[in-house]
Amino acid sequence: MTKKYEFPTQFFWGASTSATQSEGTEKGDGKGQNIWDYASQHYNHRFYDGVTTEHTSHFYKDYQQDIQLMADIDFNSFRTSISWSRLIPDGVGEVNQEAVIFYNQVIDELIAKKIEPFINLYHFDMPMKLQEIGGFENRDVIAAYKKYAETCFALFGDRVKYWFTFNEPMIPAEAGYLHDRHYPYVVDFKRAATVLHHIILAHCEAVKSFRQLELDSKIGIIMDVIPVYPRSQNPADLKAAEMADLFYTRSINEPILLGHYPAELKPILTAYHQMPAILENDLDLIASTEIDLLGINYYKPRRVKALDYEPNKAGIFSPEWFFDNYEMPGRRMNTSRGIEIYPQGIYDIAMTIKEKYGNIDWFVSENGIGIQGEEAFIENDRVEDDYRIDFLKEHLVWLHQAIADGSNCLGYHMWTFVDCWSWINAYKNRYGFYRLDLETGKKTVKKSGLWFKSVSQNNGFD
């Protein structure tokens, strides 16, 4: 029977997580400390209920059971990351053989269960030893990352068919060096711009090394292509949207996907003395780097308006000098997260990729809804999360339309497989297809997980 919303053959259905948010720590595992391990201990007040990285969903010890749970709801693919500080505890030295064993077992188990491993190399988790010398502010860390990437390709490249260099490369720069949300809690635009530039170079170096190995696999990156919507068609609002898009989307997307920075960016940064140090060879490297596959994370749109008041430009430079966030009347909200729900945004992203970025192959690498107090929806030991099913349906309907309109979308990964520890919010909001009982560690499928199973089995839905 033909489904009303049928997806292309061999469409990827699954979910995503990251090493830091899922693995946990075990005594004697050889793992080095990363910035989240450090921050959640030393800046514990910044984390909801003070929950540290030690209290994640314990994928490190439960991976076999967890992968079976994925198979139980018919995943054919799953994205996670390798922890740099687990594999190379100090970021640059000896490889931790316990980590090699673990990641080999995870990859082999996924393949045995017919679940394609999508492996990401960096998901916000700088090894603490490298952060102590500046992290991605320090050019030396680019070489350290390149060595780490090469180590991963050598160890696991015979089986991993889909590699990703970074998850949301804007976030370590913006959240860690400008907006005071992530460690090291710096507020300095030029330092943030330096970090972003060095991350782009690290990505390019990893892709270059990957190409030299001539592996039978693909490499890409996972990013936001956040659609920006102006309050109105007033020229001032349109300009505000243009500036928000320039700083937070095009500044990372264009060097990665088009091989150059936006031409409009340099004059602005130069005028405000915010240009990072860019060497001549840097731009050549960026121009010569191409990826095979793009992952897109989408949770919310960005709505902006012209500033109501001229900002005080005597302070720290900020992109918010050029636009203001706009709270559109009547918007649908996820009140747990305080963010807008706008399913059409996923279609608009697809069309942007098609029209501006060469219609590159891509997939939805994260999309999801985090709800606080999900225990209120438990009936007969199961979370009856119809709100998550509705969220999924609405986004998949728009994704289906995008594919019909020529977008090369290859798959859809939900965030996340099982309720996981989230940056800053810990377990305040639940995102998983499985509920994690924090007291017992028991993982119980939610109604949405069973619905997703039927979608994957049928490659669509009515």
* Active centre residues (catalytic): 168, 366
Q: Where are the beta strands (DSSP E) in 178-331?
A: 218-223, 228-230, 293-297, 302-305, 324-325
Q: Is the dihedral of CA 335, 336, 340, 343 positive or negative?
A: negative
Is 381:280 a contact under the CB 8 Å cutoff?
A: no
Q: What is the distance between the alpha carbons of residues 214 and 157, in angstroms, rounded to a whole number?
A: 10
Using alpha carbons, select from 358, 360, 328 the residue that is nearest to residue 345. 328
DSSP label at residue 276: P
| 186: Cβ contacts below 8 Å, ≥ 6 apart | 176, 177, 178, 180, 192
| 166: Cβ contacts below 8 Å, ≥ 6 apart | 120, 121, 122, 123, 199, 202, 203, 221, 222
Residue pointed to by tokens 């999900």: 374
Enumerate the β-bridge partners of residue 273: none
Q: What is the distance between the alpha carbons of residues 136 and 211, in angstroms, rounded to a whole number?
A: 23
R_g of the chain, CA atoms, integer Å: 21
| 122: Cβ contacts below 8 Å, ≥ 6 apart | 81, 84, 145, 165, 166, 167
Residue pointed to by tokens 């993982």: 443
Kindly list the distances between the CA atom of residue 134 and the CA atoms of 89, 140, 169, 183, 350, in Å, as whole numbers in the listed order. 17, 9, 17, 12, 36
Q: What is the distance between the alpha carbons of residues 143 and 24, in angstroms, rounded to a whole number?
A: 27
Kindly list the distances between the CA atom of residue 128 and the CA atoms of 33, 37, 60, 66, in Å, as whole numbers in the listed order. 6, 9, 20, 28
Structure tokens at 367: 């999309």
